Each structure stands twice: as structure tokens, then as C-alpha cells.
Amino acid sequence: MLNPSLTLCFPDRQKSCFACCPPIRPAGYEHLQHKNINKRILRENTAAFVSEERTIVPITGFSCWALGYVDENYRLVGCLLHPSQNDGLDLRYRVNYATKCQRESCREAQTFSELALSVKRFWLHLADGLDSFSYSSQTTNFLFRMIDWGTHLLNVISVIRSNRIYTTKSFLTVFPFFSTSLSPRAHAYLLNRLIKAENVHLLKSSLFRAEFEHLAASLAGEIAQNQVLQPDGTPVHRLSLDRDFLDYLRLSLDVRRMNEQEAMITKEEVDERIEKWRRALANLPSNSCSQSGTRVSKES
């Protein structure tokens, strides 16, 4: 059963995520780089906020006057206008980005919401000890990166290692694959189709990581070489195909437009290559991937 009250935004009483606030932040903005200034602004916003006020005050610059501390210990950062802070009354109309504020939710939060309670708790340990600033940072919170690999992988790993509690450091020691520099969203489709419960041990191998990186680069190069530009095609994100596959097209293959039929042909080609690779990996001993480079390359 899912527990909607345990969210990625407010996982516990020690920290919260405010990376999406305000919704007009510039690309790549990092709250952590301006921590001292932001802490002062948050305290000022909290002290100045009057919940009974109803006037509309537009957001100016990249800071929102309604973002402040929502607990007496000044640990949790959140929207002071949110209905959860005002007895169910939504006051976000008071800023000129009210509609955007109301619908703002990151992809990681959506993915996290689809996990069972036990799985959520397993992965949240990666963020143990972080404050709200570090937790809200894409550079310091490794949990966000893991979530981008998708629910399938999150479920598989948590089931087989459910009796363990991992810090980021200990997790990467056991699963060095995730030290890869590859973008999770760009390659989640490949990895999720490749890794199942029976071969999850591959993620414990640095050699497998190198082999996967080689395969991903080779496959992207081959498809790109045969790809015909389709300037009149449908924007990739609007195609009615698997979301992870569409991310693979956009972020790994740099395909922005494609008609549905061509996208399905490309998907079949990718799936065929992954299946051949998966069969080759099935022949490897469970405690070693030392021969993965040569054996997989030949099979693929």
C-alpha cells in the first residue's frame, strides 16, 4: 500500500525540499551556493508573514516572499501560503505565479510517490543527515540521482537488500555501477530493461559499469548514424510510447522530432540489442563480471 503522506518534498522532521520554489528560478540555480543569504531571507520572510493578510504581492527576482520556515526549529523550508500551513486554505493566489505554484512538482517526486512505503523508507536513508539546503541540492543529494533511474530498479534493489541501511558512501561501495557519469534519465530505459532480479548482482561490478557505458555509447552512435532527420515529425515528448524510452530518444540520441512509426522501429531495434546483451550477461558467473567486455561485445 502506498503512503501518500511520506513525500519526497517532506520526508521527515529534519529536512524538506524547496528546489522548485519559486517556479521562476533560472536553470541550474543552486540554493546551496547562496546558503547564508538564503537563510537570512527565509527568516525575514517567516517573521514578516501574516497569515490573515489577503493582498496580492507579486514575486520579484528569483526569490519568493512566501518561502520561509514552516517549523519552530527553523529546519523545514516550505511555502507559507500552502494549504497545509493554513488549515486547508490555499493562499497561493497571493503571488502572480499561483497556478504554476499549484501544479509545480518535479519528476523525482512523482516517481517517489509511486513507490511502496517500505521502498520509500529504504531509499530515504541515502539522505540521512542532510539539512534542507543539502537535501534540496541536485549536487549533494544522491537520492535524486537514484530516483531518476526509475521505479523498476528502485524496487528490485530495495527488495533484495531490504534488511540493509545504506548511506550514499556505503551504497556506492556495494553498487559501484551507480558511480557512472551517465545521465540516469538518458539511460534508464536501457538499464531497466537489462537488469532484473536474477542479474541485479551486475550492478556490484565496476567492470559491468564500464561495459554498459561502452554499449550505450556504441548503440547511440549506430542509431545516430542511421537516423534520418524528421523536421516535420512529432515532438518526441508527445509520442505515445514509454516515458523512459522517449527520454532515451531525447537525452541520449538527441532526437527532438520523430513520427510514431519510426519511433517504434527504433524502439524495436534498441530492444533487440538489449535482449542480446542480456542473454550474453546471463552466462557470466554471479560473483564476477571479469569477462564482460569480450563476451558481451561478441554477442551484441
- Residue 111 covered by a domain: no
- Residue 153 covered by a domain: no
Q: CA angle 251-202-191, nearest 5°?
A: 20
- Residue 165 covered by a domain: no
| 257 secondary structure, DSSP code | E
Look at the chain and report how many structural domains it folds into. 2
Q: Which of 50, 71, 104 is the last residue of a domain?
A: 104
Q: What is the per-residue pLDDT for 229?
A: 66
Do residues 180 and 212 touch, judged by C-beta distance below 8 A? yes
Burial of 252 (0-12, 13-18, 19+ CB in 10 A): buried
Q: Which residues contact 274 (CB under 8 A, 6 or more apart)?
A: 190, 193, 194
Closest to 148 in 3D by CA, of 116, 97, 105, 192: 192
Q: What is the per-residue pLDDT for 228?
A: 65
Residues 99 and 187 in one domain: no
- Residue 132 covered by a domain: no
Residues 188 and 270 in one domain: yes
Q: Which of 83, 104, 125 is the last residue of a domain?
A: 104
Q: What is the per-residue pLDDT for 1?
A: 33
Query: Which amino acid type is present at position 88?
Result: G
Which residues span the domain enclosing 235? 175-299
Q: Which of 77, 104, 131 is the last residue of a domain?
A: 104
- Residue 119 covered by a domain: no
Q: What is the per-residue pLDDT for 59?
A: 87
- Residue 121 covered by a domain: no
User: pLDDT digit of tens for each residue in the chain (300 aa)?
Assistant: 334 579 999 999 999 999 988 877 777 888 888 899 999 999 999 999 998 999 999 888 778 999 999 999 999 999 999 999 999 999 999 998 778 888 888 999 999 999 999 999 999 999 999 999 999 998 999 999 999 999 999 999 998 887 889 999 999 999 999 999 999 999 999 999 999 998 999 999 999 999 999 999 999 988 877 776 677 889 998 999 999 999 999 999 999 899 999 999 999 999 999 999 988 887 665 554 444 444 454 444
Residues 84 and 194 in one domain: no
Closest to 22 in 3D by CA, of 6, 38, 10, 37: 38
Phi, psi of 89 (to 5 degrees): -90, 125
- Residue 118 covered by a domain: no
